[in-house]
Amino acid sequence: MAQRKPGESCGYASSFTGRFSSKLPWKETLSFRFSPSTSVVHDYFVGSLGEEFREVGVVYQEYCDAMNKLSLEIMEVLGISLGIGRAHFKDFFHGNDSIMRLNYYPPCQKPELTLGTGPHCDPTSLTILHQDDVGGLQVFTEGRWRTITPKTNAFVINIGDTFMALSNGRYKSCLHRAVVNKETARKSLAFFLCPEMNKVVRPPGRLVDAQHPRAYPDFTWSSLLEFTQKHYRADMKTLDAFSQWIQGTLAA
């Protein structure tokens, strides 16, 4: 029942053999949807995983509600930082159709031969990541992979591709990966803020001018999500590949 089906972004997935034929990530994942002012998270745990998961469902419902609140506060700060005011992005994400993902990375006897999660930019808008104290998240900056040391009471916040497009490229989505180790399993919780499915991703006019022409075409989040689920494994070039893909399909 909980098994994730090809093309869907919810459910349990291990080894990803159903989706990819090479570079399989060394991880298991459980992904589910979140929408504000609903009990969809709690209902998923009870409805798909069973009555014995009711308590866990309550906890993750509360966690996702808190992540939603934090995401909208961060969107206010990002709007102020770009000079377009606190309301613009906060209102854009007031209704959202976000994804919560639980990552489990088993120990690996030959960790140098694989990756927990390969190099990528999150195609989503904003990621709030809670990692445990094992360590393994790395970000590629200034020419090399740098480990993000776990901090107990801190979250890691990533800009994703969709927000890069919304900010007309002023913010860049962050290239990152997760390595594994021989001794200890690692777990992380990733809350991916996503707009409502059919909302058009278009930067505010104030961020487009002669010096800053449009960096990406208009698109809906549902079309980018479908691209990553059915046509293209998200990597560090997803948005460029997606832009070419939609312009190609429009021209056809």
Ligand X SMILES: C=C1C[C@]23C[C@H]1CC[C@H]2[C@]1(C)CCC[C@@](C)(C(=O)O)[C@H]1[C@@H]3C(=O)O
The footprint of ligand AKG (CB under 6 A) covers: 101, 103, 117, 122, 129, 131, 136-137, 176, 178, 188, 190
Question: Is there a catalytic annotation at residue 170?
Answer: no
Q: Could you tell which of ligand AKG, Fe ion, ligand X, none binds residue 212, using a CB distance below 5 to 8 A set by kind?
A: none
Please give the structure tokens belonging to residue 61. Answer: 């419902």
| Residues facing residue 100 across a β-bridge | 32, 191
Identify the active-site residue in 4, 101, 177, 186: 186
Question: Which region among 64-72, 122-130, 167-175, 240-248 touches ligand X (by CB under 6 A)?
Answer: 122-130
Q: Could you tell which of ligand X, ligand AKG, Fe ion, none binds residue 234, using a CB distance below 5 to 8 A set by kind?
A: ligand X
* Per-residue exposure over 109-125, b if at least 16 CB sit within 10 Å of its own CB, e if not: eebeeebbbbebbbbbb
Burial of 205 (0-12, 13-18, 19+ CB in 10 A): exposed
Q: Which is nearer to ligand AKG, 90 or 176 (CB)?
A: 176
Burial of 217 (0-12, 13-18, 19+ CB in 10 A): middle
According to the binding rule CB under 6 A, does residue 233 interact with ligand X? yes
Contacts of 249 (CB under 8 A, 6+ apart): none
CB of 139 to ligand X, least distance (A): 14
According to the binding rule CB under 5 A, does residue 161 interact with Fe ion? no
- Active site members: 186
